Structure 1
């Protein structure tokens, strides 16, 4: 029963990464077996089964890394995978008994499960590709104050990796922590910042959460003003989301977006791109309302 798996997971909270790996590996065949027994919603369960079938190879790739047991992200990822597998077992049991609160509700739950499994598969791959597992790091808290002893290259790399891994809430915590770290130690962050990290920040400018968009704009503004990665930002598509923030962002987001555009416009080529993306009208409107006038006038004149 799924209750047994859930109880086992609860007792695993303080377990090692290796124990979480074994736990996830045991859940995979159980989830597969249950899913294949289900007769209702065949299209959705077929899609879920195809994702479940990919999990063993991803777990194998993750566990074969020499730093597997030393990185907090691995344990967190295994916990997330286990939670998704437990949910698959639970939903399969409900479908087998046909004890669910309406077809539409169950279809929605199955779609959500498929999305979680997709995220698990993507994150397992990213953990290897980002290279963050090459650093043997201690767990990095993504809340609380920044202490000098907390910040080193390894933990900064782990924090940057968190911008690409996990759900939106986890990325928001990482983004807020990154902002705190940059206020204290901008030089070290810039020293380890890679193009994939810049791309992740640009993607967060289009997040559904206004808070995340605003904080991403703030961090990007710091990067732009540092003069260290303008080319990466532009090539990763930062201009359109910055312009959208000028048009409809919060007051703080609009301010940071306009400052970033002003700095990026120092390049003639980028200025042409800004104009080409339709930024003239929203920038003029900002000037007319008096927001950031002194910063924006050189850009729109």
Structure 2
């Protein structure tokens, strides 16, 4: 047999030579194994595995690409080395010349493991289909033709599945480098078996291998092309363990992977089921900026699933998110915290009370003081204001913050702010305060929004505020109020603001000037159709405008 160190001789042999060499060794090692003395149980197991080798070699050699396949040649070399070791151990047992019984038991167990690996790897070469693809050595020079790149990548991925751990480590290094240079082609070449091999490497004993593996898996998760494969191959438990106890890089990459995977509600539930919430909560408290933001985003994604919100609460997520809102390192962390609180308070009164008792309202209001108030924070406040006493909301400065959002926020943030106004204006005093804060011109302007839902909530808020006489006067003073409200009388099903528009115009119809404007902008035609649709208040307003129209007609006579 050729020694491992004799690289020249090894390289000189063809794949066919290595096949013949291995086939010649099998009967020799079987004869010697059957004559070995002692360790009968272990040798019986070894013989059973040796007897499987000829059929595996036959499967390999029958493949059309057998002779030119680099992986095939390397596998035959590995089998030959194992058979050589078996001969040496059998001869020692035959002569009973070995260094201690325990040492020989250990050597025989190691031999059994190598035979298992050889048999498994031979099977994988056949099953995975790489025999027809892999033709290049592991260390590929820069002169490899462009057309061979995809083939090389498929071979690298195949090498993650075969051989001993150090060989896989070497292949992993090559995959990491390949992804830096040509991530697109690596992703295109990935198969499910490659994903399974990577997931297995996440549990390797070597921290360096785990770190490199999770770096690759993070890229795969972020690509969005194989989330289902990753999850079905069991990636979640080892990722969660890395978040718990990995290196700084391992924690970061594992958390970013979970962030991407948790966008699926089913996977979010699975993360909770695998115990992923406590380490993510801890990372929000003590992690570096990137890991903290990724952990907050993952928890935000999980909080979008209603049935796990109580579990999140029990793990201390409310206080953690409020602390992030106050002290988060990155703005992104604060945004995720606000959105998480919005999700948690969407439908659960117990969670609302929990957020309120932990000082969440004050933190959310403070967060809104920035130049670009975020929709998520306003949405969380919208969910909470109905559970907070009016006096507390006033003392905390809710109304000025809502005005700030109406002036500076995105349309979504403005819409959430108006919804909060609708919920909080349950008393005359509060309606008066909102009107005095300057909300009405901003709400009238919002009636022109392209979004139907934004127009609807603005009309609803105006209708509520107009119960107070001074607010009605403010609406009358705005030149755009009547034209905008008349436009919202459109009877089409898409327009959901029409009932509020009728209410607002009804409150303005005592003014002759407003009635004339309504008529001039075509309100009567709209109201006739709305009367037929039984929209509340439409018939009464229609009749009032018709009477006004007649009076105008006769006064001209």
Q: Same-fold call, TM > 0.5?
A: yes
Q: CA deviation at 1:228?
A: 0.8
Superposition pairs for residues 6-155 of structure 1, below 5 Å? 6=2, 10=6, 11-135=9-133, 137-141=135-139, 149=145, 152-155=149-152
Indicate the structure whose relative CO is greater, using CA pairs within 8 Å and at least 6 residues apart: 1
Tell me, yes or no, if the aligned pair for 1:202 and 1:238 is still in contact at 8 Å. yes
- Secondary structure in 2 aligned to 1:158? helix
- Which residue, out of 228, 235, 245, partners 2:242? 245
Q: Select the structure of larger CA radius of gyration.
A: 2
Tell me, yes or no, if the aligned pair for 2:156 and 2:175 is still in contact at 8 Å. yes
RMSD of aligned residue pairs (Cα, Å): 1.8
- Secondary structure in 1 aligned to 2:12? coil
Q: CA deviation at 1:39?
A: 2.1
Tell me, yes or no, if the aligned pair for 1:71 and 1:139 is still in contact at 8 Å. no
- Secondary structure in 1 aligned to 2:58? helix
Matched, 1:282 2:283: no
Q: CA deviation at 1:189?
A: 1.0
Q: CA deviation at 1:146?
A: 6.4
* Matched residue, 2:202: 205
Matched, 1:180 2:177: yes
Counterpart-to-counterpart distance in 2, 1:257 and 1:146: 32
- Secondary structure in 2 aligned to 1:31? helix
Aligned residue-pair number: 295
Counterpart-to-counterpart distance in 1, 2:208 and 2:47: 35
* Matched residue, 1:236: 233
Tell me, yes or no, if the aligned pair for 1:264 and 1:270 is still in contact at 8 Å. yes
CA distance 1:267–1:136, shift in 2 (3 Å): closer
Counterpart-to-counterpart distance in 2, 1:239 and 1:227: 16
CA distance 1:198–1:147, shift in 2 (3 Å): farther
- Secondary structure in 2 aligned to 1:222? helix
CA distance 1:9–1:69, shift in 2 (3 Å): farther
Q: CA deviation at 1:117?
A: 0.5
- Secondary structure in 2 aligned to 1:278? coil
Superposition pairs for residues 286-297 of structure 1, below 5 Å? 286-291=283-288, 292-297=291-296
- Secondary structure in 2 aligned to 1:152? helix
Tell me, yes or no, if the aligned pair for 1:146 and 1:180 is still in contact at 8 Å. no
> Which whole-Å deviations, capped at 9, do the CAs of 1:124-167 have from their partners, x for residues lacking one?
0100111011126232317xx86774761111111111010000
Counterpart-to-counterpart distance in 1, 2:82 and 2:75: 11
Tell me, yes or no, if the aligned pair for 2:134 and 2:152 is still in contact at 8 Å. no
Counterpart-to-counterpart distance in 1, 2:287 and 2:246: 16
CA distance 1:238–1:147, shift in 2 (3 Å): farther
CA distance 1:175–1:8, shift in 2 (3 Å): closer
